[in-house]
Chain A
Amino acid sequence: MTSAGIRLWRLLAHLAIYGLAFLTIFPFVWMLSTSLKPEDEVFSWPPQLVPWPPVWANYADAWNIAPFGRYFFNTAVVAVSVTVVSLVLNSLAAYAFARLRFKGRDLLFMLLLATMMIPFQVTMIPTFLILKQLGWLDSYLGLTVPGFAGAFGIFMLRQFMLSIPEDLLDAARMDGCTELRIYRQIVLPLCKPALATLAVFTFMGAWNDFILPLLVVKSGEMRTLTLAVAALSSGLYVMSFPLMMAAATFVIMPVIVAFICSQRFFTKSIVLGGLK
């Protein structure tokens, strides 16, 4: 190929990829656009990408369709508590599996790995029955406790902790450190990168979860955001496209902003999630 031919080819490749990338985010662009249109402009021809003047009032109206403040609160409570508690419990267990000796350790670890292969369809019905037995349906306990520990988090943190030199821990033991202090003051600080990645992964999973809330929540006020969106889509509230897209925007945008701010962790945690 001539150098002009190569340049043309490269230009076309850029155009194709960026065109595809634009198509990828187009649904979000269109959502944003619809959310700022007056009701009667939604079906105008030609379709308008930038509505002018933007109808900001749609957002205020959408916020009042349903108790979204409550839904955000519920979702945040669930996501934060699942993330915090699971990081603590999983890292404690991971430390024991990585660096402590106890009877049955390897057998337990194998069993733990085996639980990673159980698909949710198999556990879904019994989990529902267990939560019902415990009286945890329609409560924060039911929405959070099943997520408080998981084999995947333990496995990942254990692998990371194996890279901490044993000598370092032995030195601390020699100085009379209890295992709990070693875990808190040496192991946890060294695990920060792994903990951060796992935190993003867990938080996202809990924030976006749909199946568990669908099983657990019965009343309107315990709904999480995903359930609220499902209710919106079933046409329970209004049939106004701008309002529905305004609601979708304030549900989706916090996650997009968080994603842009902490991309590094997001990408890493998604790859991790896939490895699960």
Chain B
Amino acid sequence: MKTLQVPISARSRRRTNPAYDFVAGALVLIVLFQVVPCIWGIALSFTRYDGMNAAQWVGADNYRRLLADPTVSASLLVTLKYAFGAVPLSLAAGLTIALALDEKWFRGKALARTLFFAPNVISLVAVAFVWEWLLNPKFGVVNTVLQGIGITGPAWLNDPRTALWCIILMQVWHGLGFAVIVFLAGLQGIPETYYEAARLDGASRMQQVRHVTLPLLMPTVMFLSIMGFIGAFQVFQSVFMMTGGGPADRTRVIVYYLWQVAFDRVELGYASAIAVVIFVAVLALTLVQWRFYRDRVEVLT
């Protein structure tokens, strides 16, 4: 029926499926900037390459070197410390706030949600800049206030004991609104009837939270926890801005090390091998969490 109305000349031009014209633009770009870089990146990890002279095939040398590189293991450890600090903190804070906001008696829910969410829309670079000022050891408001009540505050970002915690706090603060919104969505997904049943059994509000809300929120917890670990292995901007990996390498996360190897030392092959290892580590962590939570989610259903 359609062909009847297509002029002869047009029909002969349209022998190819028009669908290909629709996808062509996007596909070419995605191949050029996603698929090719991915394959190229893996290939580069088996070479020695400085960006100027031709890449030299070195087999698995980069991976062997990586296993023996103390900075790789040290920065992986920093990244894990970061993850095990930031993820639970963000989950706990997000859940607590969401639980309060979800109560029927809570006034000004929209306002509170907006306030918690505000940092999330600002670039990490800009908020890191503001935090540097707050945490400035001499003139920052944090230490000024501490001094006022008779405590000499640490040097925060310049102190090896506190630097990583500052980064963790900043990142958790930046992402808190996201956790709150996702938890709120999860809470709204729990059917009211479950609570009614619990009330009939005489459960107090606290008991309802413990025995109804928390178990039913496990899928949300799983989602945020997996996303959190993936995000933890990509932390870069805050370290780049606030500490440059210091003091005493205490905040050198793995992506920051990757950046240094790639663009300060211009060892593109070795850096690519580190990138592949990060990718594999994230995949492994995701699978482990998947299995860990799956058992706990399935019990319910």
Instruction: Point out residues on A near B: beta carbons under 8 Å.
Output: 10, 13-14, 16-18, 20-22, 24-25, 27-28, 30-31, 34, 42-43, 45-47, 89-90, 92-93, 95-97, 100-103, 105, 108, 111-112, 115, 118-127, 129-130, 132, 145-146, 148-151, 154, 173-174, 176, 178-180, 183, 204, 207-211, 225-226, 229-230, 232-233, 241, 244-245, 248, 251-252, 255-256, 258-260, 263, 266-267, 270-271, 274
Contact = CB atoms under 8 A, between A and B. Distances in A.
Contacts of A118: 34, 38, 279
Contact of A125 (B44, B136, B233): B44
Contacts of B92: none
A115 B30 contact: yes
B64 interface: no
Interface in B94-120: 97, 100-101, 103, 105-108, 111-120
B26 A233 contact: no
B149 to A, nearest CB: 11
A146 B31 CA distance: 10
B148 A46 contact: yes
B125 A259 contact: no
B130 A245 contact: yes
A93 B27 CA distance: 8
Given A34-B133, A92-B23, A102-B17, A204 B275 contact: no
A136 to B, nearest CB: 11
A224 to B, nearest CB: 10
Contacts of A30: 130, 133-134, 141
Contacts of A129: 40, 51, 268
A14 B107 contact: yes
A271 B1 CA distance: 44
B34 A100 contact: no
15 contacts: A24-B115, A27-B134, A30-B141, A42-B139, A93-B22, A151-B30, A204-B121, A210-B124, A210-B237, A233-B132, A252-B122, A260-B114, A270-B178, A270-B181, A274-B182
A176 B5 contact: yes
Closest 8 CB pairs of A and B: A208-B123, A126-B37, A96-B22, A123-B37, A93-B26, A102-B19, A100-B19, A149-B26
A167 to B, nearest CB: 15
A73 to B, nearest CB: 17
B275 A121 contact: yes
Contact of B139 (A43, A95, A208): A43
B107 A125 contact: no
A198 to B, nearest CB: 13
B168 interface: no
Contacts of A45: 144, 147-148
Given A92-B23, A115-B34, A17 B121 contact: no
A225 B122 CA distance: 12
B37 A173 contact: no
Given A24-B116, A24-B119, A96-B23, A31 B100 contact: no
Given A118-B38, A174-B1, A125 B262 contact: yes
Contacts of B100: 13, 16-17
Main SS class of interface, B: helix
B145 A130 contact: no
A112 B28 CA distance: 12
A163 B240 CA distance: 43
Given A176-B5, A270-B181, A102 B26 contact: no
Contact of B234 (A27, A102, A121, A229): A121
Contacts of B113: 267
A90 B24 CA distance: 10
Contacts of A34: 133
B237 A47 contact: no
Contact of B126 (A96, A229, A263): A229
B112 A17 contact: yes
A154 B22 contact: no
Contacts of B20: 96, 102
Nearest to B228: A274
Contacts of A101: 17, 19
Nearest to A27: B130
Given A27-B130, A124-B262, A230-B240, A130 B122 contact: no
A176 B11 CA distance: 13
Contacts of A209: 123
Given A263-B114, A270-B117, A271-B181, A154 B279 contact: no
A210 B123 contact: yes
A232 B275 CA distance: 29
Contacts of A93: 22-23, 25-27
Given A95-B22, A176-B2, A130 B123 contact: no
A149 B122 contact: no
Contacts of A43: 138-139, 144
Contacts of B5: 176
B33 A146 contact: yes
A31 B237 CA distance: 20
A259 to B, nearest CB: 5
A256 B122 contact: yes
B276 interface: yes
Interface in B278-296: 278-279, 282
